[in-house]
Amino acid sequence: LMKHARTGEASGIALYWSTLGSFLGSLSLSLLVMQWLGVAAAVAICALGLLAGTLLLHGRRRASLILGPLAALLIVGANLQPTATADTAYAEYQVAVLDRDGLQDGRTFWVNKSLASLIDASEPPSYTRYIQHLRQLLLVDLAYRERDILILGAGGFTLSHQEPLNRYTYVDIDPEIRRIAERHFLRQPATGEFIADDARRFVATTERRFDAVVVDVYSSHTAIPAHLVTREFWTAARRVLKPDGVLIANLILDGKLETPYARNLLATIEGVFGRCAVEVLHKGKPLANVEVSCFASSQPGTAQHYIDEKNRADLDLARSR
């Protein structure tokens, strides 16, 4: 009986220390190491800890002296590469030089190894094609002046770069992105107000209203966070528009809009806004920037097909004038 009692006590103590270690380890990694040193440092620390424990249990001192430092160098080299401009709890940022015809001192801003923004030193500066398209839409087609424009997803802050005609508000979940972009990418202060918040939470809770809402939120090259593609999100985004406002969404979809994801996402947006303009910028590529423009004045409705037996085209055309 004493033997069984001691066995149970030992098991309980082992479980206690194991649970306590897991709890404290997860808190310290997520709240301290990842916040201050980055995700790569957290991975390296965990790997080095596992390596140290393995070598202690291995018991072969000579092999440990050789394999230990070698494995440690490999772990640190793989996880602490000096390629990242900055690494936060939300993303890894990198600024790279872009040598391409027509660019002067071109540089790119990468977020989680995906191209987010482009800029150069020419006058006027060059930007990514979709940013040029958005600026054309807002400043030329809609002729916005002294308007309030909300951008969900800051990227490199290039939509408002050298643009003093309107008032810009950026919302991004990473509180460090503005400092990183200004220091390493823009090399000057970003134009506009910055709010560190989740995009969905902001549009659901703010009392402010905007003439335009630009949705440009990505967690990787093609992945929009799942909570930012639902009907509830688009309804909340519509709520912050002024009566004559416009929503513009930069989506990355297949160029032919044939995949279930493309069809369902566009249908979800039009289920909230009604008919929207859809422009594919890179039609010949498997993945393309797709710009969706929806007006707050539009309403969802049912459509009817024109058929030879009952063709209402002329009547509808007259009613539309």
Contact 282, 255 (CB under 8 A): yes
Contact 276, 293 (CB under 8 A): yes
Which residue has better confidence, 9 or 258? 258
- Look-up of token digits 């909230």: 272
Give CA–CA dist 149/170, Å, rounded.
9
The region of weakest confidence among 107-121, 142-156, 262-276 is: 107-121
Average pLDDT over residues 69-91: 65
What was the pLDDT predicted at 71?
58
DSSP 8-state assignment for residue 158: -
Average pLDDT over residues 153-182: 96
Contacts of 121 (CB under 8 A, 6+ apart): 104, 105
Is the pLDDT at 22 greater than 60? The verdict is yes
The CATH superfamily of 89-295 is Vaccinia Virus protein VP39 (3.40.50.150)
Going 109 to 115 to 116 to 122, the CA torsion angle's sign is positive
- Here the tokens at position 40 are 């790569």
What was the pLDDT predicted at 312?
86
Whole-model pTM? 0.74
Question: What tens digit of pLDDT does each residue of 248-276 get?
Answer: 999 999 999 999 999 999 999 999 999 99
Closest of 111, 196, 112, 191 to residue 152, by C-alpha: 196
Q: How confident is the model at residue 81 (pLDDT cuts 50, 70, 90)?
A: very low
Q: How confident is the model at residue 283 (pLDDT cuts 50, 70, 90)?
A: confident
Burial class (CB in 10 A: 0-12, 13-18, 19+), 48: middle
Is the pLDDT at 33 greater than 80? The verdict is no
Dihedral (Cα; 183, 185, 186, 188), 10-degree rounding: 20
What was the pLDDT predicted at 3?
52
The region of weakest confidence among 54-58, 262-266, 290-294, 314-318 is: 54-58
Contacts of 202 (CB under 8 A, 6+ apart): 152, 171, 195
**β-strand 193-196 against 167-172: which pairing, if any?**
parallel
Identity of the highest mean pLDDT range in 30-44, 113-127, 240-254: 240-254
**CATH 3.40.50.150 domain locations along the chain:** 89-295
Asked if the bond preceding 286 is cis, omega within 30° of 0, the reply is no
What was the pLDDT predicted at 60?
58
Is the pLDDT at 17 greater than 70? The verdict is yes
Identity of the highest mean pLDDT range in 63-67, 219-223, 238-242, 287-291: 238-242
What was the pLDDT predicted at 57?
67
Average pLDDT over residues 111-133: 92
The region of weakest confidence among 13-17, 199-203, 251-255 is: 13-17
Is the pLDDT at 56 greater than 70? The verdict is no
Give CA–CA dist 289/224, Å, rounded.
13
- Report long-range pairs for 183-187 (Cβ below 8 Å, ≥24 apart): 184/85, 184/86, 184/93, 184/95, 185/95, 185/107, 185/109, 185/117, 185/119, 185/156, 186/119, 186/156, 186/157, 186/158, 186/161
Q: Which residues partner with 277 through β-bridges?
A: 293
Q: How confident is the model at residue 76 (pLDDT cuts 50, 70, 90)?
A: low
- Here the tokens at position 62 are 């000579």
Q: Which residues partner with 241 through β-bridges?
A: 210
Give me the helix-helix angle, 231-239 and 260-273, nearest 10°: 40
Is the pLDDT at 219 greater than 80? The verdict is no
pLDDT above 70 as % of the chain: 83
Identity of the highest mean pLDDT range in 21-30, 42-51, 225-234: 225-234
- For 227, half-sphere exposure in the C-beta direction (CA atoms, 13 angstrom radius) is 8
- Look-up of token digits 């929806």: 294
H-only helix segments in the chain = 2-28, 34-36, 39-58, 61-79, 129-135, 177-180, 199-205, 231-239, 260-273, 313-320
